[in-house]
A and B are shown apart, each in its own frame.
Chain A
């Protein structure tokens, strides 16, 4: 680890100020990606600004058909929240399968989304459920938020404060874990929203999370697993690595998609 200045922010505005003052500052939320990266000397920020003291960023609330989750809410809190389990069980289920218990107790939804790892689970939840990402400056719809591998629409000094999920009629997330890392080799979120079906895929896309238009229109026509026995036109480039060829990942998108539809009931 290289040396850095450490700030424990007491509020979002305090954090934002510290970020502006730093020559190359970095926000640390749960630290489950950033800290290993620092330990491996793959990053050398001048300043780390810790959001752990910003109690305003932590918590879950349900208002009508909207579930709002504070950016610093841990995966374990989402997984174990009776409110989330009741409103969007697919989201609680997704959170309960991220990493291991240690990761879930420290890792946060805001950190995961800001990092936008192409194999992370939460981007599929945001895009699949059509979430709105709330920052200290504006609101960004998920469709505009995830812009590429580890890239988001966030500005340089912009901080995520909360994520708002609309409650689906039904939804399910099916994850096929990479055997080694247990990140998603392919993860598919299928959600039947009042506005139509959304299908988002993580783990597979060369540019990160994406929606599968062909699946969405097929499921809009008939919400059944057999509807997905169609050609997946307009798929983006898929990742290729030692764990999965593009062809295998394409197959898993279909298999996991069908399983998600079936599990939706």
Chain B
């Protein structure tokens, strides 16, 4: 290994620019003649628009133009994944207009864009627009939405998007009838607001000389935006549409999706013949960024007399919000129900998912996307089952783990896990968490009047999304490969053009390490270029922890091609057969001789070829590769959380958080650790602090940081993080992905720890977020119930 190669904790190349304020984010870009757009949003959750009076606003100072849905008659914003109902019929997919067409369906829905010389003028003019809203009752509550007579979309009777299932319900029911023990729980996965540090922004531009459009946008996948917006919404062909996603300040999934504002500014730029910049205010982010999670599930686990899991059945309602966002439909199905085997040998699984429309902000993928929901319900069930059957948390898991020698392991819910060693991960986690010393720590805490609890979570997730064949069979309307282009410059430096987008993950370092390692060149000689459809041939972007397992593999494939061609060039110069050329440590050597050629000399020769054989060797050194994986990758791990609860106030303190994760081969340990830290912070945030709440009228009660609680540094302990490694068997790097494991594995560990602390006080369950008030209520409710007995 060289000191900037695979396995080295190289400091992030991009951090100097970020930490010194020299990043270029969308809002840092200003185009000549630029105007500013303000999106007028609906203040009500559900209403007919009987009329919009623009007269006064159009006359306001600085106003260039105002457009409403009547002006913007374009295609519907598409959903990327089709899901079929149980009976095989397609899901209900009502139109998703960029600007409201006669009706608004959630607070924050786009009603008009005001374009002015300054943002302040646009915003001031927007207040002069008189919209005649005829308010309708709101469908605000997921649990009861299917029973309401009010329809979010007239096209969707019963507010149902789809009624989907996986597994054989009758077979699973039969198993439950004969089960020795059944554990049953009602589980809510709380709704979250993503809160990337950089709010969304977009600049639309139109060049009337060439007919070319440019969209600068805060996106995790510019090529996907070009495809969705160009082909489906605005009908602009690819060669006339450039999408640039420059530095992006965090996404967590919320910047995957094609948003209305992107289409609005691109379309309107052509109308006003000037660039238009829009940037969300934080309050707008709460009302327009797709939210995450929001499931309610009835879940049951059947066990035999030996404590083995013999069946699982789940009935989930998943909130789609008011419109189908890009990935929304696949989250509760293909990314949730297919994970319900978890790390266990449960032989029979049934899951029914009803996707539901409500008058709330659209719900879509958020760090983990479906897999945190699956992990949470499974690990809460396992925790409860252990308590009900008298097993320890460790024992029930060990008894039911898929054994090390069973891989590849075909689950009953479509996925085939390639590798893993769950017992080894649990062993190391228990050791790192000092589980053996827990009882002593609990006693010590009790002497201070504190309730101490320990919670486990053993999880597996599917990432490296995605194998095109598998996701195609599941309903993806596109394959999810990745591309890479390696351009070797004449002096031997390298630019990598990747379709993966970096918005905090450190690709500029990790990907450069792959090149440094493979070509034996200094990391300073490698640049990673991404985020511009005019530079990168194509790409499917960054989500589902796919950048290294898919994008990185594409880079490796392209590097293989570069090395193959380099060998031909070296063979030509060294007058040997290319089969006899060996490549090691940046040098091409004729086997068994001391004749050699450095990589830099090969590169120069490629661009100043004097006598290349015309029929065998082209000048230049640049290679392109597309990689489509054979399977998902399956990171897994064990998280153990220890909490201390103050019974007087209900405050839960996370006193220790241990994460032992198997993410396959680790390219940069420091970056992996950072990714896991971030995921854990979000997981603890979901478990204890974060929760989006709507009132009955569909108003968001948690619309700012005054009420939406984000985790802060002083809410978190020093994390104990480690990795175990089983290699992915179907990619050359053996990598699995690390971006989401922290957010997937940790919430049930935290809640299981809270329940462990409260169990002896009579508390049996607590919903996320376990806020101080909620914990205090649970304790006092249990006290009251115990007193009554």
> A residues within 8 Å of B by Cβ?
1-2, 40-41, 176, 179-181, 183, 241-245, 248, 251-252, 255
By the criterion of a CB under 8 Å from any partner CB, how many residues of chain B are at the interface? Answer: 23
> Is there an interface contact between B771 and A243, defined as CB atoms closer than 8 Å?
yes
Of A1, A40, A176, A242, which contacts B283 at CB under 8 A?
Answer: A40
Segment 677-724 of B: residues with Cβ below 8 Å from A: 689, 693, 701-702, 705-710
B702 neighbours in A (Cβ, 8 Å): 180, 242
**A40 CA to B777 CA, complexed, in Å:** 35
Question: From residue A128, how far is it (CB to closest CB) to chain B in Å?
Answer: 20
Given the contacts A180-B706, A181-B707, A242-B707, A248 and B776 also touching, CB distance less than 8 Å:
yes
Q: Kindly state whether residue B773 has any CB partner on chain A within 8 Å.
A: yes
Q: Kindly state whether residue B649 has any CB partner on chain A within 8 Å.
A: yes
- 7 A-B pairs with least C-beta separation: A180-B709, A181-B706, A255-B648, A179-B709, A248-B773, A244-B773, A180-B707
A–B Cβ pairs within 8 angstroms, 10 of them: A176-B772, A179-B771, A180-B702, A180-B707, A180-B708, A242-B702, A243-B771, A248-B773, A251-B649, A251-B776
Most chain A CB atoms below 10 A, which of B120, B283, B710, B776: B776
**A243 CA to B701 CA, complexed, in Å:** 11
Would you give the 0/1 interface string for B771-789, flagging 1 where the beta carbon is closer than 8 Å to chain A? 1110011000000000000
**A133 CA to B689 CA, complexed, in Å:** 38
Of A1, A179, A242, which contacts B772 at CB under 8 A?
Answer: A179
Question: From residue B515, how far is it (CB to closest CB) to chain A in Å?
Answer: 42
> Is there an interface contact between B707 and A255, defined as CB atoms closer than 8 Å?
no
20 further interface pairs, Cβ-Cβ under 8 Å (given A242-B701, A248-B772, A251-B649): A1-B120, A2-B124, A40-B283, A41-B127, A176-B772, A179-B689, A179-B709, A179-B772, A180-B702, A180-B707, A180-B710, A181-B705, A181-B706, A242-B702, A243-B773, A245-B777, A248-B776, A251-B648, A252-B649, A255-B649
**A1 CA to B127 CA, complexed, in Å:** 12
**A244 CA to B127 CA, complexed, in Å:** 35
B710 neighbours in A (Cβ, 8 Å): 180
Question: From residue B770, how far is it (CB to closest CB) to chain A in Å?
Answer: 11
Question: From residue B126, how far is it (CB to closest CB) to chain A in Å?
Answer: 11
> Is there an interface contact between B707 and A248, defined as CB atoms closer than 8 Å?
no
A251 neighbours in B (Cβ, 8 Å): 648-649, 776
Question: From residue A242, how far is it (CB to closest CB) to chain B in Å?
Answer: 6
A242 neighbours in B (Cβ, 8 Å): 693, 701-702, 707
**A251 CA to B779 CA, complexed, in Å:** 13
Question: From residue A54, how far is it (CB to closest CB) to chain B in Å?
Answer: 30
Which partner residue on chain A sits nearest B702 by CB separation? A242
> Is there an interface contact between A245 and B649, defined as CB atoms closer than 8 Å?
no
B709 neighbours in A (Cβ, 8 Å): 179-180
> Is there an interface contact between B707 and A243, defined as CB atoms closer than 8 Å?
yes
> Is there an interface contact between A176 and B649, defined as CB atoms closer than 8 Å?
yes
> Is there an interface contact between A245 and B773, defined as CB atoms closer than 8 Å?
yes
**A211 CA to B654 CA, complexed, in Å:** 34
Which partner residue on chain A sits nearest B772 by CB separation? A179
B649 neighbours in A (Cβ, 8 Å): 176, 251-252, 255
B777 neighbours in A (Cβ, 8 Å): 245, 248
Which partner residue on chain A sits nearest B712 by CB separation? A182
A179 neighbours in B (Cβ, 8 Å): 689, 709, 771-772
Which partner residue on chain B sits nearest A40 by CB separation? B283
Question: From residue A179, how far is it (CB to closest CB) to chain B in Å?
Answer: 5
A245 neighbours in B (Cβ, 8 Å): 773, 777
Question: From residue B276, how far is it (CB to closest CB) to chain A in Å?
Answer: 22
Segment 450-500 of B: residues with Cβ below 8 Å from A: none
B689 neighbours in A (Cβ, 8 Å): 179-180
A181 neighbours in B (Cβ, 8 Å): 705-707
Which partner residue on chain B sits nearest A258 by CB separation? B648
**A180 CA to B773 CA, complexed, in Å:** 13
Question: From residue A240, how far is it (CB to closest CB) to chain B in Å?
Answer: 11
B708 neighbours in A (Cβ, 8 Å): 180
B123 neighbours in A (Cβ, 8 Å): 41
Which partner residue on chain A sits nearest B708 by CB separation? A180
**A181 CA to B705 CA, complexed, in Å:** 6
A255 neighbours in B (Cβ, 8 Å): 648-649
B120 neighbours in A (Cβ, 8 Å): 1
Question: From residue A212, how far is it (CB to closest CB) to chain B in Å?
Answer: 17
**A40 CA to B281 CA, complexed, in Å:** 10
Would you give the 0/1 interface string for B666-685, flagging 1 where the beta carbon is closer than 8 Å to chain A? 00000000000000000000
Question: From residue B681, how far is it (CB to closest CB) to chain A in Å?
Answer: 15
Which partner residue on chain B sits nearest A39 by CB separation? B281
**A99 CA to B702 CA, complexed, in Å:** 20
> Is there an interface contact between A180 and B648, defined as CB atoms closer than 8 Å?
no
**A41 CA to B127 CA, complexed, in Å:** 10
A180 neighbours in B (Cβ, 8 Å): 689, 702, 705-710
Question: From residue A96, how far is it (CB to closest CB) to chain B in Å?
Answer: 15
**A242 CA to B706 CA, complexed, in Å:** 11
**A73 CA to B776 CA, complexed, in Å:** 38
**A40 CA to B648 CA, complexed, in Å:** 37
